[in-house]
Structure 1
Amino acid sequence: MDKSVIKFNHCDKDIYCFFVPDQCPECGVSFSGKRLEEAPVSIPNPVSNGHQAPCAFLVASTEDSALRDFDGCSDLHTGISNTNGIVYNYTKTGVQREHQGWEHCICIPLVQPDMFSLMSQWDQYLEKFSSAQMWDPSWQSFNEESHNCYSYSLMFINRVLATQSKPALSKEEFTRSFVLPRIKRASKYMMLCREISQNHFYIVDSPRRNSGEGPSEEDEDSKSN
């Protein structure tokens, strides 16, 4: 989805759209010369180009339709990007090193900008890990449950953590803390895009109409429910 989702508030409603209209779709009042109760804000797209996200854990949908990505029904594929945006990912034919195909995915950065030592060795770590015998399909076959793209990605992450003397993450920990929140956010964003594409607007009661508080992440989550 190339268009940006915009949110503004009027009539105690949160109104989502791809552009701010000339008049309120809820009450019909013209916005010409009038101030909105809440200045329009752009909602960041949680899906981005993995080839432009170095040293990241990537989650992509195998579906062709962008609007079906991360909807809970699509099969997902994971990979790890190197410092040049080449995506390493494990498949039935072994580890792939791809320069394209990951333009629409969830990106979870794995290296902080000030971690120069790790950044300088990242590509070497990734290539050595990916060349190991355990990822050779003639030695060990791909298994949907126990030896797949996710186990490959998480095992590499834990190898990196080990070099920093940090404890390993279990599949459950990593999924719960890092992956599921971002998939949830992406799913809700895609839902907004579908609603706006079909109806021009998506309108919900503002959760702050009886409160003087500003927006919070919890509010953002409640808008799509």
Structure 2
Amino acid sequence: MEKKSVIKFSHCEKDIFCFFVPEKCPECGVSFSSGRLEEAPIRIPNPFSNGHKTPCCFLVAPAEENNLREFDGGSDLHTGITDTNGVVFNYTKPGVRQDQRGWEMCISIPLIQPDMFNLLNQWDQYLNKFSDAEMWDPAYKRFDKETHNCYNYTLMFLNRVLAAQGKGSLTKDQFTQSFVLPKIKRACKYTTMCREISQNYFYIVDSPVNTS
């Protein structure tokens, strides 16, 4: 489901989130026709992107079993790696899939810088060779939700790339805590906010106390 743009403005010591700025404050009823906003409204960045338009990235998306296909903080997630054309390589029970659609709303984490030309030129070769390895063949080793899964596949590929660059590997905890978890938390918060606005038109919280 495509997310609408969320707008934030502040009034009467409240942060108010909505899809459009109303004519009056939903908290106190004061009209904004005279420009009585405390500051200009800002647009909250959407944490989701179209994975097929973000090459050479680590992707996180709701698993197919998640019927709502949303980040709600409790449902299973699925991970993949994009090639230079936006095809998503992801490991499932039948083996490695190459998806050309289905990852239109996901979390995207870039894995290489635009100026890393040598790695860009070899990215697809690395990804195809890695995905063809025997360990991802279900006839050789079966998918296991805990020990041999989509996350193992994506993290192992990332570490192969780091090794090719002469860099140290990342543990699952290091990568999760530093790169994945902060983005998942932001996505869950954004999803909750959108759901609240869709149901009640506004999402209202106390403004942070200014201690300066």
Q: Distance in 2 between matches of 1:130 and 1:150?
A: 13
- After superposition, residues 99-118 of structure 1 pair within 5 angstroms as 99-118=100-119
Q: Distance in 1 between matches of 2:38 and 2:142?
A: 59
Question: For each residue in 1:108-130, what CA deviation from the matched residue of structure 2 results, as whole angstroms up to 9, or x when unmatched?
Answer: 11011111111111011000100
Question: For each residue in 1:184-211, what CA deviation from the matched residue of structure 2 results, as whole angstroms up to 9, or x when unmatched?
Answer: 0000001111111111111111104x34
- Opposite residue 123 of structure 2, the aligned amino acid is W
Per-residue deviation, 1:33: 2.9
2:149 corresponds to: 148
- After superposition, residues 65-214 of structure 1 pair within 5 angstroms as 65-66=68-69, 69-208=70-209, 210-212=210-212
Q: Distance in 1 between matches of 2:163 and 2:185?
A: 29
Per-residue deviation, 1:71: 1.5
SS at match of 2:40: strand
1:217 corresponds to: none
Q: Distance in 1 between matches of 2:147 and 2:119?
A: 28
Per-residue deviation, 1:35: 4.0
Name structure 2 gaps, 5 residues minimum: none
Which ranges of 4 or more aligned residues in structure 1 deviate by more than 2 Å? Answer: none
Structural RMSD (CA): 1.1
Q: Distance in 1 between matches of 2:72 and 2:168?
A: 32
Q: Distance in 2 between matches of 1:152 and 1:42?
A: 36
- After superposition, residues 38-53 of structure 1 pair within 5 angstroms as 38-53=39-54
Q: Distance in 2 between matches of 1:185 and 1:2?
A: 14
SS at match of 2:191: helix
2:67 corresponds to: 64
Identity of aligned residues (%): 67
- Opposite residue 77 of structure 1, the aligned amino acid is H
Per-residue deviation, 1:142: 0.8
Conserved 8 A contact 2:3-2:194: no
Q: Distance in 2 between matches of 1:173 and 1:132?
A: 25
Q: Distance in 2 between matches of 1:124 and 1:134?
A: 18
Per-residue deviation, 1:145: 1.0
SS at match of 1:39: coil
SS at match of 1:101: coil
Conserved 8 A contact 2:24-2:32: yes
Does 2:8 align with 1:25? no
- In the superposition, the TM-score normalised over structure 1's length comes to 0.90
SS at match of 1:183: helix
SS at match of 1:114: coil
Per-residue deviation, 1:72: 2.1
Q: Distance in 2 between matches of 1:202 and 1:184?
A: 18
Q: Distance in 2 between matches of 1:41 and 1:64?
A: 32
- Opposite residue 65 of structure 1, the aligned amino acid is L
SS at match of 1:73: coil
Q: Distance in 2 between matches of 1:7 and 1:205?
A: 12
